[in-house]
Every structure is written in structure tokens, then in C-alpha cells.
Amino acid sequence: MSIEPHPGKKALVPPPPPHWGEVVPAGESALVLRFALGDRVVSYPCSEFKRWEHVNGAPETLVLATANEQVVIEGSELAAIRAALDLGRLAEVRLTYSRQPARPGPKIERITIEPA
């Protein structure tokens, strides 16, 4: 017996988007990466990113470097964000707040943009 009501058929309702950001559909590439901060949204063309570094620890950090700035994302379970970035599908990253109910996936405590 299958758990799916109609095995092999596409679900009528798509899964909810990730609470931590936005990923473009499979087979497409993001052109712009947005960072939704508390008071503003900062966008970069994806071609500006030179490298990124994922550092495990408490908190985990993901550092994205451009020629003039670096974006630092702090939180936990950031591997999903790094994977979307590696695949060129990451379109938006936003803060997640601790007062929200616990959901699986990355938890982003802070995003900072600093001069390189």
C-alpha cells in the first residue's frame, strides 16, 4: 500500500517554499542573489561572487566574497544554502526568527555586509 493518494501523479499543491529564502526551479540558474535584512534588501548579480566559505561551529558561518565586499551569514544547518549556491540556484536569503515555530532547514540568525 502506498502513502500517496495517487501514486505516480504530481501533487496538486506544491511543497511550501523554504522559510529561509528562495531557490529557483531545477534546471534554471539564478541571475541575482538577494539578502533580505531587517530593514532593507540588498541584491548582487550572481556573477559578482568570487568564492564562498562554509565554516562549521556554533554558530556556523557562510562567507560570500565579492571584489569589494563580503556577506557573512550566521546560523545553523547552512549546508542547504551552500548547496543551492554551489548549484547556482540560490535567489534569496532571509533572516529566520527564533520566535517562529521550529521548522526543518537552515536557521539564519544574522546577515552582515562588510567591506572586503
Which cell goes with 108?
A: 539564519
What is the predicted pLDDT for the residue at 1?
Answer: 44
Domain ranges (residues) in the chain: 21-115
Q: Whats the size of the chain, residue-wise?
A: 116
d(CA 89, CA 24): 5
d(CA 44, CA 33): 5
pLDDT by 10s per residue, the chain, length 116: 445 566 677 767 777 778 899 999 989 999 999 999 988 999 999 999 999 999 999 899 999 999 999 999 999 999 999 999 999 999 999 998 765 566 778 999 999 999 98
pTM of structure: 0.82
What is the predicted pLDDT for the residue at 96?
Answer: 85
